[in-house]
Chain A
Amino acid sequence: MIDLLVIPLIKIVIVLTGVLITVMYLVLLERKVQAWVQVRLGPMRVGPHGVLQPIADVLKLFVKEDITPVRADKVVFTLAPIIVLVPAIIAFAVIPFGDQVSIFGKPVPLHIADLNVGLLYIVAVASIGIYGIILGGWSSNSKYPLLGALRASAQLISYEVAVTLTFVSVILVSGSLSMVDIVTAQKANGVWFAFVQPLALSIYFVGALAETNRSPFDLPEAEQELVAGFHTEYSGMRFALFFLAEYANMIVVSAVATTLFFGGWLRPFPSVAFLHFLDFVPTWIWFVVKTFLVLYLFLWIRATLPRYRYDQLMRLGWKVLIPLAIANIIVTAAVKVALSD
């Protein structure tokens, strides 16, 4: 009973709280990093160095007026932000945050569920999230949201192909679809898959930028052309849900990158013996540090690169990334067969 219900429930509560707090502070971190890159100070007023700014922002979003346009499809308009947010959060179910720990002498693995199709589960969940964006844009019954939603969904569908193909080459190397097995395979091989599959990593990272609508691929909300894209008509708490989902998605793709390519919860150089003293650091701390380094890359790129044009985006996705990913799969499979003989 305790193993079946209580422990998973506690884990779910911890992960959910952790994700929400991380999202709040990720927004602050983004503003700070942008400010430092542009030689500004960023938010400084609320609390020392602005550390309480996220709380002020959340309070503001709670008390803002929540408007539903008169001509909107009210039920779908209300459901759309929820359809975006739920997949972003349930994707955390299969992410392994750390190795087993023992609490009161009881071994507890630091993941909510270890599905044997974990990686495919993430793909499936991500593909459901697209509906929220399309429906949000459509139900607003307004032209900019509709155009933004069309752009967003075309972009997501195109880059989903490239990202999923990079998963295939990782699966070929690890021999499993389970997130935990992928990490243990990196431990057994003594090398992070980032070094085995550098091309897959770069394609995944570019695809992840596009899938989370991040700069330089933030065309769905290109403010000069589309006001705010698919969520133009949303305000107050419902807008906050879209915002939350976007940042939660960033954390998901960074956590997946960490798991697939940067050794998940493993310490750096897992096979080098004289670094064993690093083992005193709990495994989940390595995971969090690596995930934040990937997230920092997202923020850094946003402050550095200008936005792509839409035709450039599509050309990059279909004519460069997808063929490269397929070639990578063929080479990986050929090398694997050659080595196994």
Chain B
Amino acid sequence: MGQAIAFYTLAACILGFGVLVITAKNTVHSVMFLVVNFLFVAGLYVLLGAQFLAVIQVVVYAGGIVVLYLFVVMLVNLKRPPEAHQDRRRRGRLGVTCSLVVLAELVAIAAYKYVSPAAGLPPALPMGPDNVAQVGMLLYTDYLIPFELASMLLLVAMVGAIVLAKRDL
């Protein structure tokens, strides 16, 4: 009961702030709503007993990535409101296409769940109090290759950013 109340409160806050992110007129306000949104997502992880993931969510997303967004937003001149696209019909077509893609994804997920209810997901691990060790163990055994690939991807992105920013090395 208490968990359900907590979940629905958190979910409502996540959705509410998500809507505010895209409706806020001021870009800095929008970025701040995004931070609050991420904090509530971290709350959701705490509710699931994944404290490690919750703290990482705050460190990486709310604390790390969004700060960089804020830098960009503050340094780029955004005093005048962004201009709407000239061609109204093209805007409409884009909107319809995007919503159709999202709808197709949702339908696909629902259909997949209907066909094979539990397949595709590994069985849940017994939840110990120390899930830092569990996460570490899994990352370095079962999921070693995806983990290393992700770190390579980040390295490539970093090198690319440096090459783009510094024309003559």
Q: Is the interface of A mostly helix, strand, loop or mixed?
A: helix
Q: What are the residues of chain B within 8 A of A177 when measuring CB–CB?
A: 132
Partner of A116, one of B28, B32, B129: B129
B41 interface hit (Cβ, 8 Å): no
Given A134-B74, A146-B74, A127–B52 Cβ distance below 8 Å? no
Partner of A134, one of B39, B55, B67, B129: B67
Q: What are the residues of chain B within 8 A of A157 when measuring CB–CB?
A: 64, 67
Name the residue on A nearest B52 (C-beta). Answer: A117
Report how many residues on chain B are interfacial, defined by Cβ distance under 8 Å. Answer: 24
Per-residue B-contact encoding for A112-141, CB less than 8 Å = 1, 0 else: 000111001101101110110011001000
Contact B71 A117 (CB under 8 A): no
B13 interface hit (Cβ, 8 Å): no
C-alpha gap A167/B20 in the complex (Å)? 36
C-alpha gap A76/B32 in the complex (Å)? 10
Contact A127 B28 (CB under 8 A): no
Per-residue A-contact encoding for B103-144, CB less than 8 Å = 1, 0 else: 000000000000000000000000001111000000000000
Per-residue A-contact encoding for B91-106, CB less than 8 Å = 1, 0 else: 0000000000000000
CB distance from A230 to the nearest CB of B (A): 12
Q: What are the residues of chain A within 8 A of B11 when measuring CB–CB?
A: none
Contact B74 A115 (CB under 8 A): no
A78 interface hit (Cβ, 8 Å): no
B51 interface hit (Cβ, 8 Å): yes
Q: What are the residues of chain A within 8 A of B74 when measuring CB–CB?
A: 134, 138, 146, 150
Partner of A120, one of B32, B55, B129: B55
Residues of A within 8 A of B (CB): 73, 76, 115-117, 120-121, 123-124, 126-128, 130-131, 134-135, 138, 146, 150, 153, 157, 177
Residues of B within 8 A of A (CB): 26, 28-29, 32, 35, 39, 51-52, 55-56, 58-59, 62-64, 67, 70-71, 74-75, 129-132
Cβ-closest 9 pairs across A and B:
A127-B63, A124-B58, A120-B55, A124-B59, A117-B55, A124-B55, A117-B51, A117-B52, A138-B74
A76-B29, A131-B70 known; 5 other A-B pairs, CB under 8 Å? A73-B28, A76-B28, A130-B63, A134-B70, A150-B74
